[in-house]
Structure 1
Amino acid sequence: MADKPKFIEYIDDALEKSKETTLSHLFFTYQGIPYPVTMCTPETFQALETFEARSDDILLASYPKCGSNWILHIVSELVFAFAKRKYEFSEFPVLECGDSEKYQRMKLFPSPRILTTHLHYDKLPGSIFKHKAKILVIFRNPKDTAVSFFHFHNDVPDIPSYASWAEFFRQFMKGEVSWGSYFDFAINWNKHLDDDNVKFVLYEDLKEDLATGVKQIAEFFGFSLTGEQIRTISAQSTFQAMREKSEETHGTIGPFLFRKGEIGDWKQLFSETQSQEMDEKFQECLAGTSLGYKLKYESYCQF
């Protein structure tokens, strides 16, 4: 597939840089948020400010390990089914990752361009709002997100590891991990979930009823597809189907990106004290908010 070599090449380069990087040197801070030096640069962030969005750009926003690769696959398949054009990732699709020249090259890409991001809403380039590009935001419960993030760091051979789950949990709760605090990200996006050009999707809902989720996503982006097309895309987009093809689609890192995808896996690692600490953080940051309600925290985050 034409889009894969470039995609995999970028991942391989980032992993190569990771080999040389210790955990203490993994991050640089830009506008108050830590980012991995292996994937982002201050120069790229500066160039991003002048990025020229289009009204038909498709933006997929998420905190890390909340299903961004899964949702990217689904939307790519929807574009293919609707436009009869296989989507080519001539650049690594995470908006803020790569070299500072990528935005110039992206001017030549045909529409619709599919972009993913882990940025806070207020860190996105202004042209996205000016042109009212549609934004699909996927969230996952914070406990499973934290455990998935920990395994990603500690299972991928070339990425700097944490000494223990307890150490990672401390850093996660302080927001001293790549792309910063889950809760700050959530608070920031919560203010905009009801905007006309924004749609919220819950990872757990997709796990429980993928076909309904795929249909809603297609409708949000204006893709008129038949029920048969929706069923086909859903069957090709289950977590298991994604995992089986992960080396082909994402290279050696694929099986680590699609590790388990289970709901409730956090119970394997969280102590009762840690669970309570996160419950209190959730109460403090999100209880009573629109997003707090949508996350179904009581259903997914209780022992």
Structure 2
Amino acid sequence: MHEDYVVRVVVEGTQVLGYVASSTRLVERARRLHRTTPVATAALGRALTLVGILGLTMKENQRISLQIECRGPLEGILVQGNAKGEVRGYVSQPWVILPSKEQGKLNVEDAVGAGSKLLVVKDLGFGEPYVGSITMPRGGIAYDLAYYFASSEQLPSACSAGVYVGKRGKVLSAGGFIIHTPSGTPLDVIDTLEENISRLGPVSHELFQGKTPEDITAFIFSGLPYRIVGKDPLRYRCRCSRRRAKNVLLLLGEKERQELFETQGKAEVHCAFCNRTYLFFPEDFAQGRQ
């Protein structure tokens, strides 16, 4: 299994930027953490792959989130990424089962639901975060993100993400790409990219067959003077800790915390991103104890 990483690409003489990712390991880790069914794995994996790419476009100490308020049975998806290539996320209903589409393709579109709401939240590290949103025309996530870029940021883009799940539920391959073609991009460049992308198979299948992000990049940008300008690792990493969990209980206030201990004898803080539960007892909050 290849390491997860993103290849960053520019097309000489233009403002075209491309990002091609492999994300198999991190999506499989998410599947194991959340015990997702295949269709939930595919939906969460697509979102994690895309937010991983977007996170690498942020500056240090900034992060970006994709939040989907699903009309379908998944109910909700939340994923986050940062400039270090660290991603985390979860799906509200990880045990959803839906009939597959033609040729056994997982039905992510119905699991998410056309008409769902996609929110893109950029925490730039100062003041209120920037929030953009759209009503998702399809529910497949990648196409909807491209629609968001075009309608909300006036940035024409091609987006793709896929997850290949084996018969036993394991993630066999996952990856995707985002290509930005800003206003003013020469039409012949756009035509070449569109033609190449139309001939490219699903990214997850290309990766499963042994292709690398560099191989896929070469195919997408064939016929163009492209240059790879960077290669960044991706990984699933949750930032929760016992100290942060304790701070959550401290924010409750002493009265509320005491009532919790009197009724239950303990307090639990559960992290939705990694499924870890932190247990606390009254003595953990004794005077002077860290």
Same fold (TM over 0.5): no
TM-score between the two structures when normalised by the length of structure 1: 0.27
**Structure 1 or 2: more helix by fraction:** 1
Larger radius of gyration: 2
